[in-house]
Amino acid sequence: MGGRIVRDMRVPLLAFLVLFLIRSLAGAVEKPFNFTETPGKLPKEVVPTEYAIRIVPNMDNFTFAGSETVKLNVRSPVYQLVLNALELRIEAASVDGKELPLSEIKTDTEEELLTLTLPSGLAAGDHALMLRFTGKINQQGQGLFYMRYQEHGSGARKVMLGTQFEATDARRFFPCWDEPAFRARFQLTVVVPENWLAVSNMPIESEQKIAGGKEVRFAPTPLMSSYLNVFVAGELDFIESQVGPTQVRVIATKGKAELGRYALKVSAEILKYYNDYFGVPYPLPKLDQIAIPGGFGGAMENWGGITYYESVLLFDPKNSSAQTKQDICEVIAHEMAHMWFGDLVTMAWWDNLWLNEGFASWMGSKCTAHLNPQWEVWLARDLPRDPTRRSGIAKEAAMESDARSTTHPIHQPVATEAEANSAFDDITYKKGQSFLRMLESFLGEDVFRDGIRRYIAAHKYSNTTTADLWNALSDASSKSVREIAAGWTEQPGFPVVNVKRETDGKVRLTQERFTVNFKNAPPLLWQIPLTYSLVGEAAATLLMTDKTATLEKVPADRALKLNVNGAGNYRVQYDEPSWKLLLKTLPKLGVEDRVNLMSDAWALVQAGRAPVSLYFGLVETLPASTDLAEREQIINVLDFMNGLWLDSSEHEKFQRYAQGLLRPTFEALGWASKPDEPANAERLRASLISALGHLDDPEVLASCREHFEKYVADPPSLAPDLRPAVLAVVGRYADEKTWNKLHELGLKTTSIEDKQNYYNALAGASDPKLVKKTLAIALTDELPTSRAIFLVSRVARDSGRPDIAWEFAKTNMKALLTKVDAAGANRYAPSLFAFFSDDSRADELRAYAKKNLSQATAPEVAKVIDEIQFRAEFKKRLAIQIDARIEKKNH
């Protein structure tokens, strides 16, 4: 908030100091968890302790009937009970056996509240509330939802049920105190068809046949937050294993459970790792990993019953790619970290969502890297399922968002349900992850783990604020973690450290805020846990607490690298002598340091702090290498520039230059894999095929078509790793006949992964007639709802025709929005503008939002407008600079 107020002023030094003091104090304001002081809408006088809930779904009309008894602890006398309910019809209510007149039952749809007025009041002490209600079963992942799918093998059309409650949708399933600090025990009973498997957080306690199916009662949960409840049911199969006292299962639709072998194996490995890391063993008797074929797009850490979109859990050794395998491992590791960080210990309120998500992202990556060192996890390119989110190394994606005027602190106030749902963004997840990684490397791995163990032990079955985590880490490290952390969690943005060589071996370091497309940003100061090394020597650390610092005794002829292994969440800008020395020592640097230099150089170009020649000069100097992370960094940049210039005169010239940069690596690798090649070679091959194909490389295009013909006749002829790339290139240049073939293949397969590959290929088709054909699919039920809506975003990104995609979306917005889940609702419409680089589109979005969108979408609208303006400006700036560079290279 401070950022906006002063953004258009020059800030004199005094104001800067005051601002800094205020910010430091703001950091001190947050206190350890205290129930009565926790934000939220619900009064804290009444605390539910136990829920017994019974739900009877009606699959003919997609409604359900429910009843519940809630044991209440009333802390001081009240005349009203206020709890959450949404899209539920309350049919009856009684308190301590006394029926309330219907006139005393009020539902407020706007505030999502249910208020029961008690004529004679309720004394302090224990009471029981009984409610009867009905609700609806949605088709998108909000509350209870249904999914239609084709059964594996038979191809029969089936339907099943699932739930998605985070952030604030448990209240669509049963009336409840739906705020994370109201922990309670939940016992669920459901009625389902007899041939269905029903799954919830806890094991089944009893099961009995009744008219119309069977009644299944689950064991009560431990004390937990309402959003962690889960219910999934359908014609399901499972495979299982045992890890100590814990039963681990992978559950999928009939015929697919065997594809859960890999997930079952890594779940067991991860469980052992976390049992040790957290120092408190996994507390529930079972852990289910549930694959669901639609409804929502990601994964959800319901305690004991984690739900996954099928393609991030199931792995087919014959047909799945190595990328899929790595995604599965990372997503499982992330969700399982939540079993402790999120479920056993839960953030008190949504303003601290980063505690859950930043931590699980960091822990998930750390665990995945530990189990699979060959994957280079910290450098891996993150390809979000939502195509409008930034791809690239997780840390880089967060820093790109965080450099803009539209960023926010990790710790941000949340007042409404819409704000809670908007908090699930790159800053919360990826900046949180990146900051924790930097903090861990500064405190040391063992000290950090010791702090986490103290934290979990002290707060299990309870809630916390960020202050509780800092206290535990301070106790373990004897360092003032809160002071270091405040700058990173309580204020927006991050710093760039300028490196300047002076005389007598002195190197002067100066920090300032790093921004992109953000003039007159308020200056801020950070405590930076710096790392540095003379290339070839061991790393040293320095906590930079002031605006400047000096390194001594740095020989004038030795290269100095800051941010060792790129583990820190800051940029570095070197002066010319330092940069030249680094360029000379590139072959001696490890891949993490090289990728870090490339990422920083590209960011400096974006920020207008350096000409584009800084980046391409570095790329052209790099030693020939087939390292995946390094080449993918280049591919990401070229891909971005290619998209920027699709309709301009520079396009062809740029494409030839870009092909020239990538071709040598592709020629060294060739099409066919070799037995002795490095672990990541096949994935790099796929990335290069896709990148060169999109840069209109005629040879690659011809080979892709050839491979596609063979693949259609004989699928095993094309390696699973190469399929997405080959299909995408073929799709991009498809004529009607090819489009129809891809569509036919997509319709036929029951593998979600294959299906996704085919529809992604269709989304890339650039012929306007075919672009329209692809878009029309989004309105059918060919794809699960969460994928159908992303199809439009994909077309906007991959076809080169965001204009046609937007026209389509505008016309069909109402139908599309019925397929969007809670987390996506605020950003869907604005996100479709993210691929325009023409200022007039910013005006169009502004006008559209004013007329059609709710206030809750305002932050997303602002982000996308900023993105369009940045692209428009950057495009002009790059055109001039790259022209000069290409001319120079051609001479």
Which residue, 167 or 360, has its beta carbon nearer to Zn ion? 360
Q: Taking CA 631 as the corner, what is the angle to CA 626 and CA 633, rounded to the nearest 5 degrees?
A: 155
Sheet with 113-122: list strands edge to edge: 78-84, 113-122, 105-108
Shortest Å distance, C-beta 76 to Zn ion: 36
Shortest Å distance, C-beta 342 to Zn ion: 7
CA distance 396 to 391: 9
Instruction: List Cβ neighbours of 570 (8 Å cut-off, separation of 6 or more).
Output: 494, 495, 496, 497, 511, 514, 526, 528, 563
Is the bond preceding residue 167 a cis peptide, omega within 30 degrees? Answer: yes
Shortest Å distance, C-beta 334 to Zn ion: 6
Contact 203, 286 (CB under 8 A): yes
Which residue, 358 or 693, has its beta carbon nearer to Zn ion? 358
Neighbours of 550 (CB within 10 A): 11
Which residue, 368 or 565, has its beta carbon nearer to Zn ion? 368
Give the amino acid at 230.
V
CA distance 100 to 600: 65
Which residue, 112 or 357, has its beta carbon nearer to Zn ion? 357
Shortest Å distance, C-beta 301 to Zn ion: 6
Instruction: List Cβ neighbours of 97 (8 Å cut-off, separation of 6 or more).
Output: 128, 130
Neighbours of 601 (CB within 10 A): 26
CA distance 651 to 118: 71
Which residue, 167 or 745, has its beta carbon nearer to Zn ion? 167
Shortest Å distance, C-beta 831 to Zn ion: 20
Set 335, 376, 396, 632: catalytic member? 335
Which residue, 219 or 398, has its beta carbon nearer to Zn ion? 398
Q: Write out the two tokens for 199.
A: 């799954």
Which residue, 455 or 579, has its beta carbon nearer to Zn ion? 455
Which residue, 137 or 287, has its beta carbon nearer to Zn ion? 287
Which residue, 346 or 405, has its beta carbon nearer to Zn ion? 346
Residue that is written with structure tokens 């669509």 in the block: 172
Shortest Å distance, C-beta 12 to Zn ion: 42
What are the φ and ψ backbone dihedral angles of 500, each rounded to 5 degrees?
Answer: -130, 125
Nearest to 579 by CA among 542, 543, 609: 609
Shortest Å distance, C-beta 335 to Zn ion: 7
832 lines the binding site for Zn ion (CB under 5 A):
no
Task: Candidates 140-148, 243-251, 356-364, 466-474: pick the segment binding Zn ion (CB under 5 A).
Answer: 356-364
Q: Spell 336-355 as b/e; 16+ CB within 10 A means b.
A: bbbbbbbbbbbbbbbbbbbb
Shortest Å distance, C-beta 266 to Zn ion: 17
Task: Candidates 175-183, 355-363, 374-382, 494-502: pick the segment binding Zn ion (CB under 5 A).
Answer: 355-363
Shortest Å distance, C-beta 489 to Zn ion: 17
What mask of x and - would describe binding to Zn ion in positions 315 to 354, judged by CB under 5 A?
Answer: ----------------------------------------
CA distance 457 to 473: 13
Angle between helices 445-459 and 466-477 in degrees, nearest 10 = 130
Bridge-based pairing of strands 46-58 and 185-192 is: parallel
Task: Candidates 318-326, 359-367, 530-538, 747-755: pick the segment binding Zn ion (CB under 5 A).
Answer: 359-367
CA distance 172 to 857: 22
Task: Candidates 34-42, 276-284, 358-366, 784-792: pick the segment binding Zn ion (CB under 5 A).
Answer: 358-366
Nearest to 438 by CA among 506, 497, 389, 378: 378
Tell me how many residues contact Zn ion (CB under 5 A): 2
Which residue, 357 or 639, has its beta carbon nearer to Zn ion? 357
Shortest Å distance, C-beta 457 to Zn ion: 22
Which residue, 162 or 566, has its beta carbon nearer to Zn ion? 162
Give the amino acid at 633.
Q
- Residue of closest CB approach to Zn ion: 360
Query: Is 357 labeled as catalytic in the residue annotation?
Result: no
* DSSP letter for each residue of 336-389: HHHTTBTTTEEESSGGGHHHHHHHHHHHHHHHHHHH-GGG-GGGPEE--SSTTS
Residue that is written with structure tokens 């890999």 in the block: 262
CA distance 252 to 809: 33
Q: Write out the two tokens for 240.
A: 């299982």
Give the amino acid at 375.
W
Residue 109 CB-density burial (10 A; 0-12 exposed, 13-18 middle, 19+ buried): exposed
Contact 532, 539 (CB under 8 A): yes
Residue 241 CB-density burial (10 A; 0-12 exposed, 13-18 middle, 19+ buried): middle
CA distance 408 to 429: 13
Residues in the chain: 891
Among 360, 516, 704, 829, binds Zn ion (CB under 5 A): 360
100: left (phi over 0), alpha (psi -120 to 50) or beta: beta
Contact 139, 296 (CB under 8 A): no
Shortest Å distance, C-beta 520 to Zn ion: 35
Shortest Å distance, C-beta 133 to Zn ion: 30
Shortest Å distance, C-beta 304 to Zn ion: 16
CA distance 873 to 630: 27
Q: Which residues are catalytic?
A: 335
Q: Which residues bind Zn ion (CB under 5 A)?
A: 357, 360
